[in-house]
Amino acid sequence: MGNKRRDFENIRKLLLQKKSILMAADQNISEEIKKEIENRHGDDVDVAESAYEQEMAYLFKSRGQGELKLINEALRKIEKGEYGVCAECDDKISKMRLAAMPYSIFCVECQEEMENKGPGENAMFHR
């Protein structure tokens, strides 16, 4: 009975792996943007274009950070033995769902209800 930490050892490993990938990607993006801007500096390039690139980079970055936050939250829940329980209704989240979406903190029903409320702050994830 109950969710023991070792029940989620595989998911925990997966999350840690994903976390390090995201953090590395974040690092790479920052480096690339820096290089890009340096390369273009003094060039006669279209300012609008590089502004657009910066915006894309920002979107990409903030998206990665949102994911990172979810991963950290899931890891914290595993440590505390709260993982796999819906944050909204306290129902258990099915293992199938957790395997597909390791950092879901809501059960299917609550998730669907939230999505039906229309675009929220996560709307850009679905674009």
Contact present, 11 and 87 (Cβ < 8 Å): no
Q: How many chain residues bind Zn ion (CB under 5 A)?
A: 6
Angstrom distances, CA of residue 77 to CA of 11, 18, 81, 97, 124: 12, 16, 6, 16, 26
Residue 75 within binding range of Zn ion, rule CB under 5 A: no
The residue among 23 and 86 lying less far from Zn ion, judged by its C-beta, is 86
Candidates 89, 99, 114, 124; binder of Zn ion (CB under 5 A) is 89
> Among the candidate windows 1-9, 17-25, 36-44, 85-93, which touches Zn ion by CB under 5 A?
85-93
Q: Which is nearer to Zn ion, 13 or 92 (CB)?
A: 92
Q: Please provide the size of the chain in residues.
A: 127
CB 12 within 8 Å of CB 80:
no
Verify binding: residue 110, Zn ion, rule CB under 5 A: yes
Pick the binder of Zn ion from 22, 86, 98, 101 (CB under 5 A): 86
What angle do helix axes 47-80 and 9-40 make, rounded to 10 degrees? 160
CB of 97: closest distance to Zn ion in angstroms? 11
| Chain contacts with Zn ion (rule: CB under 5 A) | 86, 88-89, 91, 107, 110
